[in-house]
Structure 1
Amino acid sequence: MAAFFTRSTYCIVTGASGGLGRELAIQLSREWSATDSTIVLVSRNISKLQETKEMIAKSSPINVTIVPADLGDLACLSDVSTKILDGYSSEKYNQAAIFHNAGSVGDIVTPTADQTDPAAIAQYLTANYTSMWILTTRFLSYVKTGPRFIMNMSSMVAKMPFGGGVVYASIKAARNVFLEALAIEHPDVRMLSYSPGSCDTNMFRTAKNEAGFASTKAFLEDLVRNNQVLSVAESISKLMDLIKEDKFKNAAIVDYYD
């Protein structure tokens, strides 16, 4: 994908209202020399999406579309995916990409054995896994030719689970395997799972402050104490380098520290 940022691209970024997703959208927009590209920002918070759009406009002339959407609402996923992808046209764009960044840490206070509400678990699965599945399959059905790229925002917890994070870690692992299996069926589509390291985001701060498992809370506090928490700019910059260098095995799971 050495030419990734030189092609006219239809690019989707989920979870673009803040944190890693906002930084991802901003850095992607700065990198494109093909200024007829379009970046589609997806999140529940329309005012935060508008802020991201305005930040992009300060440093890039590319087109920006915002799609407010609750990816945890199963009944709306089909309509939402249509809204997200309707702007794509093979006549207009030479390339398409989707960056699956949206996600939440889940309930890290309640012991796993006490998390027995099927509706709550189903909603979490929809927001963090099912939505990725549906958006990816719809993406592939809309974009059948040309260079295509799918990125999954992973986490080190997919390989190193933590106490209190059973649902979060298991979903991150499932997303990784989803892309690995999908790459076997679609070897012509470039895919990557990127683990961004521990970054200074609202999600990290929530996990640190609310973790109900003592060893998990201590581990996160130690990261802060030892200045081992990355800025989102540092982590996303590494992702940009990975995309430009294009040396990773298809559907590889690459960590910031690799």
Structure 2
Amino acid sequence: MSRVLSIVTGANRGFGSSICQEFVKFSPNKEQHLDFILFARSADSLKNTKESIKTLSKVANVIEEYGVEMSDIPQVEKTFKDCLDKIEWNKYSKICLVNNHGTLYNLDKIDTFTDFQHIQKNNDINITSFVTISSLFLRKVKALPNFKDLEVTMVNITSLAAIKPFESWGLYCSSKAFREMFSNVIAEENKSSPNFKVLNYSPGPLDTDMQKEVRETCSSEETRQFYLELKKNNNLVAPGDSARALAKLVFTYEFTTGQHIDYYDIKEK
């Protein structure tokens, strides 16, 4: 029986870990094998995600796990190339890459920026590594002899911040905007392949450590208060709920390539 392969970056905690778990739970064919390749800053940090996957299903398995510093682009390139070369592609009928990794780094207003070297590092994590992984993956799968017989999805975990400016989120908003437009160009360049789709998925304001960082460090009082109120009123989104909605999109394949879909547009009532 053919298998499903999911490659997930930033898979060690929060939304990335939830994505893996909900992919296993949602799989419409409970007998079909689901293989995962996981990326995080440290391979050791993937232990909990790996154990969760194994607990949820006997036919779900983490076949590879990689620790890579996404700001080290030569390391990202080498590690991801090695990863792609090791995959037995002829096993799979459905392949999904989820680019979930990223960092907030600086939540100060733009006229206060001083540490420009760290801004470059931030951009390598949020932008250059994303470009590297996406390009290498695209080149590999399109060269497969059976490419036209595969169902391939590239998911960019985006944000409302990609299409709307937020005070003191200059770096985060701009990096998310870059990733979304880059993904849209990929969709445009491959629109003649109906078996290949790109999805920009905005998961909503998630109740994760990243959201906690926003509430504690954001220099914009207006933005900080907005998220404090969301937390206070229990209006943050549970990672599992949003990941479940993403899993449904990926497995049903019912979206238009290049589409920006927000959790609030599709969440179950």
Same fold (TM over 0.5): yes
Return 45-54 or 145-154, whichever deviates more: 45-54
8 Å contact from structure 2 (residues 46, 65) kept in 1:
yes
Counterparts in 2 of 1:238-249, with a 5 A limit?
Answer: 238-249=245-256
| Correspondence for 2:18 | 23
Matched with 2:109 is: 111
Q: CA deviation at 1:207?
A: 0.6
Please give the per-residue CA displacement for 1:152-202, whole angstroms capped at 9, x wherever unaligned. 001111122211100101111111111111111112221101100111100
Q: Distance in 2 between matches of 1:245 and 1:140?
A: 21
Provide the C-alpha distance between the structure 1 equivalents of 2:103 and 2:120, rounded to a whole number of angstroms: 14
Following superposition, the deviation at residue 240 of structure 1 comes to 1.7
Deviation at 1:36, TM superposition (A): 3.3
User: 2:172 — aligned with what?
Assistant: 168
* Aligned CA distance change for structure 1 residues 10 and 243 (closer, same or farther; 3 Å): closer
- 2:212 is matched with 205
1:45 partner letter? S
The one-letter amino acid of 2:24's match is S
Q: Is the CA contact (8 Å cut-off) linking 2:42 and 2:66 kept in structure 1?
A: no
Residue 132 (structure 1) aligns with: 130
CA contact (8 A) 2:94 2:151 kept: yes
Residue aligned with 2:90, SS: coil
| Letter in structure 2 aligned against 1:79 | K
User: C-alpha separation between the residues in 1 aligned to 2:155 and 2:49?
Assistant: 20
| Contact kept? 1:10, 1:88, Cα under 8 Å | no
Aligned residues: 252
- Which whole-Å CA distance do the structure 2 matches of 1:199 and 1:210 have between them? 17
Q: Residue 102 of structure 2 aligns to a residue in which SS?
A: coil
Between 65-74 and 237-246, report the one with greater CA deviation.
Answer: 237-246
Q: Do the aligned partners of 1:197 and 1:235 also contact (CA within 8 Å) in 2? A: yes
Matches within 5 A, 1:60-79: 60-61=57-58, 62-64=60-62, 65-79=64-78
Structure 2 partner of 1:13: 8
**Bigger Cα displacement from structure 2, 191-200 vs 87-96:** 87-96
Q: Partner residue of 2:92?
A: 93
2:44 matched to which residue of 1?
Answer: 47
Question: Aligned with 1:40: secondary structure?
Answer: strand
Gaps (5+ residues) in structure 1?
A: 1-5
Alpha carbons 2:3, 2:94 under 8 Å: kept: yes
CA RMSD of aligned residues (A): 1.7
Amino acid at match of 1:168: Y
8 Å CA contact 2:4–2:32 kept in 1: the answer is no
* SS in structure 2 at match of 1:38: strand
Paired residues for 1:163-242 under 5 Å: 163-187=167-191, 188=193, 189-242=196-249
For the residue of structure 2 that corresponds to 1:94, the secondary structure is strand
Give the Å deviation of 1:7: 5.0
Q: TM-score if structure 1 supplies the norm length?
A: 0.92
Partners of 2:82 and 2:117 in 1: CA distance: 26
Tell me how far apart the structure 1 counterparts of residues 84 and 123 of structure 2 sit (CA, whole Å).
22
The equivalent position to 1:251 in structure 2, one of 258, 266, 269, is 258
* Segment of structure 1 superposing worse, 81-90 or 218-227: 81-90
Cα deviation per residue 1:25-56 (whole Å; 9 max; x = unaligned)? 11112334354332001001323201110111
Distance 2:33 2:85 in 1: 17
- Distance in 1 separating the partners of 2:164 and 2:188: 25
- Kept in 2, the 8 Å contact 1:100–1:153? The answer is yes
Distance 2:26 2:233 in 1: 32
Contact 1:50 1:66 in 2 (8 A): no
The letter for the 2-side match of 1:9 is: V
